[in-house]
Structure 1
């Protein structure tokens, strides 16, 4: 490269600013609505900061009265369209930004505003159309989960209003509507987040006189420029992890200033409408994270693309992972090591194309075109159109930070390190293949898997210190995200004191076999389900079907009230209609039995095809980890024939290809032993024990008077499970008219646990 070809270092002083994440800032796309007194300076600031792309939109023409404060224009621009003149004016100040200008009316061409905003992570509203337009743009930003900034200047006053979208705050944090309330409710409801993106025009909004406009109070370049700099600074400081007040006022005549944070208003139409349109109890809606496209390779999944060759080379690759991998800095990196021969991917021509947004790798980031919901540390669930997609291995970001470490190395055991947030080639291929295999073996029993495999990405990461270990993400169409143990069983436990009516511990105690009365911590008590199951003399259970109880609509937990109250009331009305017209004495018992029975059928069907769900050596070198546990079963929404669907097969394997991690030899006896262990570990986890699955018990949430009822219900789910495992007939089938009310109970439980386990 010659000296004339060297790119000037425009941003060296900016990069030197402490704590500023310059890379993220310069990856941003911004929409500037209105290129007048504020918009001129805002757009110039953005270009000087070096953001990736700026969209300009204005319908006006340059007027002589504009020139004292609208710094992009000169006398030569008078009577010319502002959008075209601004584009030409910015050429003198632009360093690397792509600039696109649109000469159109934001009210009449609202669909254009929506289209441009969808490509951005921030909107600067610099149009003084009045409060209803401000409400519309703020609502659009909330629906897109992007930052909204606006402001004004008049006389000697400069005002900045900043409302960043935060994925770690309920509903994304406060919005402009929390601090402002236009009066016409009918208009506001038309502009709510649930419908704002579908409008082609918003010319119906009331026309308002802008009281503090430049025409009425006068203005100059000074307050305009200061307000603009405050607005852009408020946004840029989000890349420094600073928290600034939402509203700031500066008076140039006195140099006095004041500011304040805006509190979330529970009656704000933008926030409440956004909540109602986004919430589903069947997938996690509490914490969201932006996704952005990066470079990499996309490998679509199609039947036959992934094969199990059972050749020596692929056995050797699997053997090698049993010992940590040495990196250049000598950290011993442990990779997931399923005891099975590796799979291989073969490109197949003529496959069905993927949805366009999945054709290029997506990764967790601080800003991006898409927003998904957390599902564990390395996965997200993305709602796109009317479908859900699961991305597994797309990074490990949990909150905004100064630096992004999508795949950090963590010490999991003394002198043992792992790469977090990622899948790897062998686990991504394995899960795609095994998910399809499990799906095929469950179909005859009327079950499905929770994920439908679509493909995997290999990331091409810049400045990856561990580049020799490639990072992968597998992606799927999915059905839901809430899990059997952490969400459903925990939620029911929380509801028991309010859900069960006319409950008598004394009557329940009459149903408890004498064998279940044990000394526990020096005191006589009821032996927990998992402990009773583990005893060699056999499982002696509590017969909850011999115990009569009734249900009532429960009160909503305080922690869920702001988000779920309307939905909760609707569900309770439906539940009350049933329980006042029908006997409901065994609804919970019936639900628990059938949940257990479904788990039993799923596991025995998998084992019948010589499939192990995932038993392997993880952090404990002396005891294998077991993936056969209730949190690897998701809750299906109404409309499916079953309640549960299995997921998470990235470490699953078949008898064909299995080898002993002790001897590196084929070992049918060990395979059979681990199949038996999966069966018993699932029973104990259903019974409430943490065991070796990582699933925690919910017993600490119980109120004392209901702990025996919880144990009886746990007994029931284990009994149903054992019946399913042994392929017995379901002696307690659910009548069709009962299933709807059980779904109501399930949804109430999922809501109750919504903010406990995310």
Structure 2
């Protein structure tokens, strides 16, 4: 239990290098004394005390709320216009849909190329291409750059469709930029964990009891920051739950008898965390039979087919930007010409915050 209070400051220090706000900060630890009839007396019993800056989780509260928002506020006619524009952006490629999942396409990438990349970038947040996982490869797999999608949506005639939130007209392109930002911040968060010296996993291991894979790098292990912090920092999400995180210096191979130190338990698993987060963003675990496999709550899709495909489009956008966030966490120019993240303009941030606030209120009703 003390692990979290030791590791959290290390990861927070990496966040601070990017001027990012932490999800929480440790303020102490309560250690229990001897307990009567303790079945494991050699294990110290303790509770970490944290100051936490938000109680809303990304997937449960914000992502589910945003998908409800898209269904409720985009009219059928607007959805039709958006999909017509999206088809132009994708050209001769199929647009994202229930039969053309972005996550399924991205899983065709050479996933293990993440491992040498992440290992070589421990202690560094520099932006470089990941061999075999470049955005050229994503385009080959049917993805389209966010900027290309936005350009076609901006060109909808006679004007770009909008949604109305409490009397404020918000262009559909701002919603796309919000999803782009969320994908970027997720990829950046995973990179922050991996690049924290001496190299950390968020918490990925094969359970000793039932041999199932446990991965802590998922969308609900990011909190939604308070709106005032979002406005000030232009940062929406922050990672947390590092009680199961471990580094290459502390990882052991517990399949050996006796267990031995083995840093490859970290360095050979970076790719799992990158792609598990990608799967979450792509909606693969909340769709159909996948929901049963992962035991997560399925998020129902809109009845209107065009709206359904807008949801899948937004998930595609998050995947595209997720890989930008991981390979270029600073978001700046790189020698390898990694695509820049899609950023809302200063004028669009109030609209972004309005959508976040409304989405959270919608999910509150969902979970009440």
TM-score, normalised relative to structure 2: 0.73
CA distance in 2, matches of 1:702, 1:667: 47
Q: Is contact 1:628–1:681 with CA below 8 Å preserved after alignment? A: yes
**Cα displacement (A) at 1:757:** 4.2
What is the 5 A alignment of 1:746-757? 746-757=356-367
* Residue of 293, 296, 301 corresponding to 1:696: 296
2:162 is the counterpart of 1:588: no
What is the 5 A alignment of 1:639-678? 639-640=228-229, 641=233, 642-663=235-256, 664-678=259-273
2:199 is the counterpart of 1:625: no
SS across alignment from 1:452: strand
Q: Is contact 1:688–1:698 with CA below 8 Å preserved after alignment? A: no
CA distance in 1, matches of 2:9, 2:35: 33
Q: Is contact 1:492–1:749 with CA below 8 Å preserved after alignment? A: yes
| Pair 1:598–1:509, CA change in 2 (3 A) | closer
What is residue 708 of structure 1 aligned with on the other side? Answer: 309
SS across alignment from 2:56: coil
**Cα displacement (A) at 1:461:** 8.9
Computing the radius of gyration from Cα coordinates, the structure with the larger value is 1
More strand by share: 1
| Pair 1:653–1:703, CA change in 2 (3 A) | same
Q: Deviations over 1:281-340 (max 9, x none)?
A: xxxxxxxxxxxxxxxxxxxxxxxxxxxxxxxxxxxxxxxxxxxxxxxxxxxxxxxxxxxx
CA distance in 1, matches of 2:27, 2:247: 21
2:291 is the counterpart of 1:718: no
What is the 5 A alignment of 1:439-478? 439-459=12-32, 466=39, 468=41, 471-478=45-52
SS across alignment from 1:625: strand
| Pair 1:695–1:638, CA change in 2 (3 A) | farther
Q: Is contact 2:79–2:310 with CA below 8 Å preserved after alignment? A: no
Structure 2 residues without counterparts, runs of 5 or longer: 110-136, 333-339
What is the 5 A alignment of 1:33-432? 428-432=1-5
Instruction: With a CA cutoff of 8 Å and minimum separation of 6, indicate the structure with the bigger relative contact order.
Output: 2
**Cα displacement (A) at 1:731:** 4.0
Q: Deviations over 1:136-160 (max 9, x none)?
A: xxxxxxxxxxxxxxxxxxxxxxxxx
CA distance in 1, matches of 2:108, 2:296: 21
* Residue of 731, 735, 754 corresponding to 2:345: 735
Q: Is contact 1:685–1:695 with CA below 8 Å preserved after alignment? A: no
* Residue of 282, 287, 292 corresponding to 1:687: 282
What is the 5 A alignment of 1:490-505? 490-501=64-75, 502-505=77-80
Q: Deviations over 1:46-78 (max 9, x none)?
A: xxxxxxxxxxxxxxxxxxxxxxxxxxxxxxxxx
* Residue of 203, 212, 215 corresponding to 1:614: 203
Q: Deviations over 1:189-233 (max 9, x none)?
A: xxxxxxxxxxxxxxxxxxxxxxxxxxxxxxxxxxxxxxxxxxxxx
More helix by share: 2
CA distance in 2, matches of 1:514, 1:461: 68
CA distance in 2, matches of 1:755, 1:491: 9
CA distance in 1, matches of 2:360, 2:37: 39
**Cα displacement (A) at 1:600:** 1.6
Aligned residues: 302
What is residue 224 of structure 2 aligned with on the other side? Answer: 635
| Pair 1:608–1:743, CA change in 2 (3 A) | same
Q: Is contact 1:612–1:653 with CA below 8 Å preserved after alignment? A: yes
What is the 5 A alignment of 1:570-585? 572-573=166-167, 576=168, 579=169, 584-585=171-172
Q: Deviations over 1:357-416 (max 9, x none)?
A: xxxxxxxxxxxxxxxxxxxxxxxxxxxxxxxxxxxxxxxxxxxxxxxxxxxxxxxxxxxx
Q: Is contact 1:617–1:625 with CA below 8 Å preserved after alignment? A: yes
RMSD, aligned α-carbons: 3.0
CA distance in 2, matches of 1:455, 1:618: 29
| Pair 1:515–1:649, CA change in 2 (3 A) | same
**Cα displacement (A) at 1:516:** 4.1
SS across alignment from 1:526: coil
CA distance in 1, matches of 2:221, 2:324: 20
CA distance in 2, matches of 1:748, 1:437: 34
**Cα displacement (A) at 1:553:** 2.8
CA distance in 1, matches of 2:91, 2:298: 23
CA distance in 2, matches of 1:697, 1:532: 23
* Residue of 605, 609, 624 corresponding to 2:192: 605
Structure 1 residues without counterparts, runs of 5 or longer: 1-427, 519-523, 555-571
**Cα displacement (A) at 1:650:** 0.2
**Cα displacement (A) at 1:721:** 0.9
What is residue 132 of structure 2 aligned with on the other side? Answer: none
TM-score, normalised relative to structure 1: 0.37
**Cα displacement (A) at 1:701:** 4.5
